[in-house]
Amino acid sequence: MATTTNFFTYLAIIFFSMSTSGFSQLTPDFYDDVCPQALATIQLMVDAAIVQEPRMGASLVRLHFHDCFVNGCDGSILLDDTPTMTGEKTAGPNNNSVRGFDVIDQIKTAVNVACLGNVVSCADILAVAARDSIVALGGTSYDVLLGRRDATTASMADANSDIPRPTQDLPALVANFQSHGLAPEDLVVLAGAHTLGFARCVVFRSRIYNETSTIDPGFASDLQAQCPITGDDDALSPLDDTPAVVDTDYYQGLLRAKGLLHSDQQLFQGDGSDTDSLVQYYSDNPSSFWEDFGAAMIKMGNLSPLTGSDGEIREDCRVVNQD
């Protein structure tokens, strides 16, 4: 599967879907006239946040992922709970996991000042901040398509059901991605975002103590020293050996049975499957990973965007605008 011909075919499919599934509603130059300073301001703020805390880059990428997988890329993950709505922040996949909300608040404030008003959506800020995080940590840039508007509601139940889990087996992961219009190829490429960041002990504990046949014994032993069988749930371990650098070390780790999460290692099981071939391909071809990752991020970023008169542009990313 991982041949040059097949990858050209894959990219052709992506661009066909872009032309037929609503990508035309979003454009890379959406803010060029209304606020030429918007993207530069976001980049400046992201760079500053990452200089202060390199881990923040992974957190901003994660926010965009988790936003898009719940009713589309609409900024709903940023909404605080209200007396009449329980939002996504405290859903199982997000609670004590997603972070960076304060940074998004700071970016939104800076953008509103630069634009002399409220013209850039929170959903677009998430998409641009994810791209800028990738670039700041060594990855290749890609053109973010813009013009999303913000949701006026959020759903804890939808977040609990729609976001992929780190404990899922490959068939469940593939089914989850397909339910969002994303192919198995997208799953493997987008999982490469785990080139950045850390996971909590409670998320990978079962793997390092119970999955003896699918994990390198020395790797498991090292992790057990950091993550005891009980307690220290919040102890952090990196998702690959270079958690603040965008590279293909994540895929190389999978080849050595050193995937931190169960869902990671499911992508490479040594059985010659299509996902095995892709993991091997990206491990051997960093430039292809960067190119395909950008294309897949663009594809994911078009999951059910609110455009035109749908939704709103929130003044404060945490709350719906007041009438």
Active site (catalytic) residues: 66
Own/partner long-range contacts of 18-24 (Cβ < 8 Å, ≥24 apart): 18/298, 18/299, 18/302, 21/181, 21/302, 22/302, 22/305, 23/145, 23/298, 23/302
C-alpha distances out from residue 136 to 30, 45, 47, 95, 101, Å? 23, 11, 6, 26, 19
What are the tokens at 127?
A: 């998409």
Between CA 141 and CA 29 the distance in angstroms is: 15
C-alpha 234: how far from its chain's center?
Answer: 21
Query: Contact 126/144 with Cβ under 8 angstroms?
Result: no
DSSP string, 121-159: -HHHHHHHHHHHHHHHTT-------B--BB-S---HHHH
DSSP string, 171-204: HHHHHHHHHTT--HHHHHHHHGGGGB-EEEHHHH
Nearest to 130 by CA among 237, 39, 200: 39
